Structure 1
Amino acid sequence: MKRFFTSLLLLTATFSINAQHFKGIWVGTVNLTGMEPPEVAFEIAADSAGQLRSRMHIINQKVFNIETENLMAIGGQLTMDIPAMSTHYEGLLINDSTLSGFFLMKDKRKFPFELKRRDVLPTAALRRPQEPVPPLPYREEEVTFVNRNAGVSLVGTLSLPAGKGPFPAAVLISGSGPSDRNETVFTHKVFLVLADYLTRAGIAVLRVDDRGVGKSTGDYESATNEDLADDALAGVHYLQSRKELNPRAVGLIGHSLGGEIAPIAAASPDVAYAVLMAGSASDMITAYNESIMAVGKGSGASAEAIKVNVRLMDKVLEVIAAEPSDSIAKIKLAAALLPFDAEVARLSARDREIMELTQPLHAEEFYPFLSGPRRADFFRDQSAILRKVKCPVLAINGSKDVQVLPAQLPRIEKALREGGNKQVTIKLFPGKNHLFQNANTGLPVEYPDIEQTIAPDVLAYMAKWIKQRVY
């Protein structure tokens, strides 16, 4: 690294550099093997105090306004951290129009790339009008707490309403896949918008980087739903220790997979309430097949393509669930796929594209299901988990959700009431998709093109429901 900067310093000796030289828009492409090269942009400006601040964009993936931290501009050297991507950037100004450097990943991999100064971004950033803009009418602070059972340190943002308190509070639990504290998905910062609304309404909110993401330690990929529920419960216990908050009014809000994780933690008497946004009460295979059928139909796939894909996934999951040995399961998977090759080959190219079916089929595509957490999903009884929840529960869904279908709502209600829970509220929001946006088709392809992050009526309903139960 030292040699890298020493050689580049020789090139910068011909012109004088100060921090202001870095202001502007810088764009370059990172060459990554085996995937579409991301076109990265840094938008660097000075704040009211003259300090440089940067936002990062991944232009060709339509991901904008990624937060950066610890920006330093000393001489011709620029460094910054990108917590959401577990990445550190270092670069050196070669001349007024060229910035040469690299991304250094958490696992020490290094990806060099060159940035060029531009007058404007190649693609205008998508509008996100619900994202809060400082100054905020409440206080935010970065907090760290520990899940001692797992030895994991979790870092997030706690937003505290204006006033004296003690306030009710919520811990937010993100959906599937490693997520930053804002649950940034399809260019939307879902939890940032949710936290902003609830905090303005008088409810403190803790949103956290998942384990292994951003500033949190641990490994997300090896974590089961039960592990992640333990992280959420550690967040509840942390909030109960804060003097500004009411320890008897700390609840959970889980979105998507978070709506399945929240009930695991909500069995604890320390949890005052739970909000399940697009949660589930069915087994994994049922939920998976329902989504396959809904997305396929909505995207224009033929009935035959949908049937083939459902039968294929049933077989894949059957093989994995029945075979505990990974090495043997891989052999059985390859054999199980062979009879489907001819059926997939008969489908149109359009059908295969919609259903994401390769031809021929490759067993390796299904290896992620062999992980410990995914194997655990096969045998988890979500209805039994819900029957253990005794605190007030609000379960909501959108009528156009094709990822977790609205059919889950009556299943959730049935399980909760079978367990004796009499404090159950079920709410279906017409016209809303999986992100609870006002949507046209509800298909995921629409998410980034909708300016709205969460529909205002959904936010208002959640805030009112929580306050009615904890004040």
Structure 2
Amino acid sequence: MNKYPSFRLLKLQIVKSIFFLFIFFAILQSSFTQANSEMVFLSSDPNIELAGTLTIPETLEISAAVLLLPVAGPTDKDLSLGNHKYYKVLAEGLAANGIASFRYDDRGVGQSQGEFLQASLEDRVQDACKAMKFLKKELNDVEDYGYIGMSEGAGVSILSSDRCESAAFMVLLSLPVRQGDVEMKSQMKRLLASSFFTDEQKLEIEKEAMKFLDLASSEDSESKRKNILEIMEGKYGSVILPPYQFVPKDPVEKTDFVLSPWYQSQLNYNIQEALSRSSIPTLSIYGNLDQAIDPIANAKQVKEISPQSEVRQMEGINHLMQEANLGSPMEYALLPTSFSKDIVQLISKWILKM
């Protein structure tokens, strides 16, 4: 028996060694593609500090820097949901392409001070202005700064760029263009259409939801709180509001939630005039499985209001830019992947073309 290994076996061992070396160096390189720095800055309220993370490419020259602004609701800097950290994935993907980013915890979330529900949409816009100013100061040798916003964060990006801190470009993900109360009514209809209620129940819930939204967006009065509480305590009070984690379960707490500065400003959300004034390069991305907003109607309005915007509609993508099966909010945390890698690359390539 030959005590020396055959040439074929030796060749196989060499190939395996090269393969494992390749994997080792790939892992080693990926772990050094970005550096994270935890930072604190003052919000638009001088008594409230906001905490965030600056992620910069460590092995590449910085080509651009972006401010990441998240969806509606109390959100941490990573846009965490279940095991997913959508904005952490996005920040790391951008850094791997030479793009720095800054993201921060909403008021009253994570390490940030303040109370989320007491902050209106205008407060969020002004906080974003402060964050962009902070980013420009920290990375003052970068030539191009931009906004990347998702859902409400996309609207905040437009308003911030329009009112206080201009940018070289914007990337708008799942942007709601229509006024807040109009979009909420449309959202309720879409969620009901995919629910397990009977047709008769769907009609009853829709009627009650439309009544609720009209009441919630009406002028303040002595009877407003009483009437909203009656709906929340009623037969369909538990399903009138979308099933998001931050929505309270108790009828009284739900009523307080609806009357909060944050929710009331959501009803009056309107970015159309600001978008029409914008002349900077803009990429808008919608997922065809989005159930939180109407992707087709909103994409059409973006093109009508802002003809220079590039609009992309992605197959198999939900509201959070996640590869999905149905697109339902109930599905988000259960899906195996977070922010779509294909969309990270699409965004990165588009920014690098600027």
TM-score interval, smaller chain: 0.7 to 0.9
- Secondary structure of the structure 2 residue equivalent to 1:252: strand
- Secondary structure of the structure 1 residue equivalent to 2:118: coil
Equivalent residue letter for 1:446: E
Q: Structure 1: how far apart are the matches of 2:174 and 2:29?
A: 28
Report the CA distance between 1:353 and its aligned residue.
11
Q: Structure 2: how far apart are the matches of 1:239 and 1:362?
A: 41
Residue 150 of structure 2 corresponds to residue 255 of structure 1: yes
Q: Structure 2: how far apart are the matches of 1:364 and 1:146?
A: 30
Report the more deviating stretch, 256-265 or 316-325.
316-325
Residue 285 of structure 2 corresponds to residue 396 of structure 1: yes
Which of the numbers 414, 422, 428 marks the counterpart of 2:304?
Answer: 414
Gaps of 5+ in 1: 1-131, 346-350
Residue 267 of structure 2 corresponds to residue 378 of structure 1: yes
Q: Structure 2: how far apart are the matches of 1:210 and 1:353?
A: 25
Q: Structure 2: how far apart are the matches of 1:257 and 1:243?
A: 26
Please give the residue correspondences for 1:160-309 in structure 2 after superposition, counting only pairs within 5 Å: 160-163=56-59, 165-243=61-139, 245-246=141-142, 248-267=143-162, 268=164, 270-309=166-205
Matched residue count: 319
- Secondary structure of the structure 1 residue equivalent to 2:116: coil
Report the CA distance between 1:395 and its aligned residue.
1.1
Deviations 1:401-459 (A, max 9, x none): 11122121112222224xxxx3x110110111112222111112222222110222111
- Secondary structure of the structure 1 residue equivalent to 2:194: helix
- Secondary structure of the structure 2 residue equivalent to 1:464: helix
Q: Structure 2: how far apart are the matches of 1:223 and 1:352?
A: 25
Report the CA distance between 1:196 and its aligned residue.
0.4
Q: Structure 2: how far apart are the matches of 1:354 and 1:222?
A: 19
Report the CA distance between 1:288 and its aligned residue.
1.4
Q: Please, what is the CA RMSD of the aligned residues?
A: 3.0
Q: Does the 8 Å CA contact 1:143/1:155 hold for their aligned counterparts?
A: yes
Q: Structure 1: how far apart are the matches of 2:273 and 2:206?
A: 26
Report the CA distance between 1:219 and its aligned residue.
2.2
Equivalent residue letter for 1:187: N
More strand by share: 1
Report the CA distance between 1:182 and its aligned residue.
0.5
Aligned to 1:34: none
Which of the numbers 195, 206, 218 marks the counterpart of 1:310?
Answer: 206
TM-score of the aligned structures, taking structure 2 as reference length: 0.80
Q: Structure 1: how far apart are the matches of 2:148 and 2:111?
A: 21
More helix by share: 2
Identity of aligned residues (%): 24
Q: Does the 8 Å CA contact 1:255/1:277 hold for their aligned counterparts?
A: yes
Residue 213 of structure 2 corresponds to residue 320 of structure 1: no
Q: Which has the higher contact order (CA 8 A, sep 6+)?
A: 2
Equivalent residue letter for 1:388: R
- Secondary structure of the structure 2 residue equivalent to 1:308: helix
Alpha-carbon spacing, 1:183–1:354, altered in 2? closer, same or farther (3 Å): closer
Equivalent residue letter for 1:373: W
Equivalent residue letter for 2:226: I
- Secondary structure of the structure 1 residue equivalent to 2:306: helix
Deviations 1:304-358 (A, max 9, x none): 3333222212211222322313x421233356789x85xx69xxxxx979988xx
- Secondary structure of the structure 2 residue equivalent to 1:156: strand
